[in-house]
């Protein structure tokens, strides 16, 4: 999916990409909250921005690569953030549902993600997938 600067941001915020996730993906602004980071990471998946995903993944759990281009084509349909909780000064969780299609078949990813802040920057640590 290609975004123009004024198209709606894929993260579902209702804001234009230019004033939403572009700040993090294109302008290297640091996400102020774990929810902002979660939304920007979703947008990075829609844009196949492996560089951003790896850079915002905590070093203790980060894979060497994601090989997004080698996976079946996903059509991302939307993101709903169900809750965001700051569990400690430098820890937070974000519960979300991401919808997508692969080969015309719809899927839902319902996850509770853990985030940690180090030196003022939020990082994705890991997540628990909720089976519905």
Please give the pLDDT value at position 69.
77
Please give the pLDDT value at position 121.
97
Of the candidates 34, 125, 128, the residue with the CA atom closest to the CA atom of residue 81:
34
Please give the pLDDT value at position 53.
97
Mean pLDDT by 10 residues, the chain (132 residues): 72 94 96 97 94 97 87 87 96 97 93 97 97 80
Of the candidates 101, 104, 111, the residue with the CA atom closest to the CA atom of residue 80:
111
Domains of the chain: 17-129 (3.10.450.50)
Strands (E), the chain: 74-88, 91-102, 105-118, 121-129
Q: Token digits for 18?
A: 């230019």
């Amino acid at each position: 999916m290609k975004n123009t600067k004024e198209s709606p941001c894929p993260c579902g915020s209702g804001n234009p990409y230019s004033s939403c996730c572009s700040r993090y993906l294109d302008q290297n602004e640091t996400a102020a909250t774990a929810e902002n980071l979660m939304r920007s990471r979703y947008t990075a998946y829609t844009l196949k921005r492996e560089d951003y995903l790896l850079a915002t993944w905590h070093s203790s759990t980060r894979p060497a690569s994601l090989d997004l281009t080698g996976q079946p084509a996903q059509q991302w349909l939307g993101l709903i953030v169900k809750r965001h909780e700051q569990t400690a000064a430098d820890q937070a969780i974000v519960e979300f549902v991401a919808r997508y299609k692969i080969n015309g078949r719809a899927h839902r990813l319902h996850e509770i993600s853990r985030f940690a802040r180090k030196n003022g920057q939020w990082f994705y640590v890991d997540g628990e997938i909720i089976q519905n």
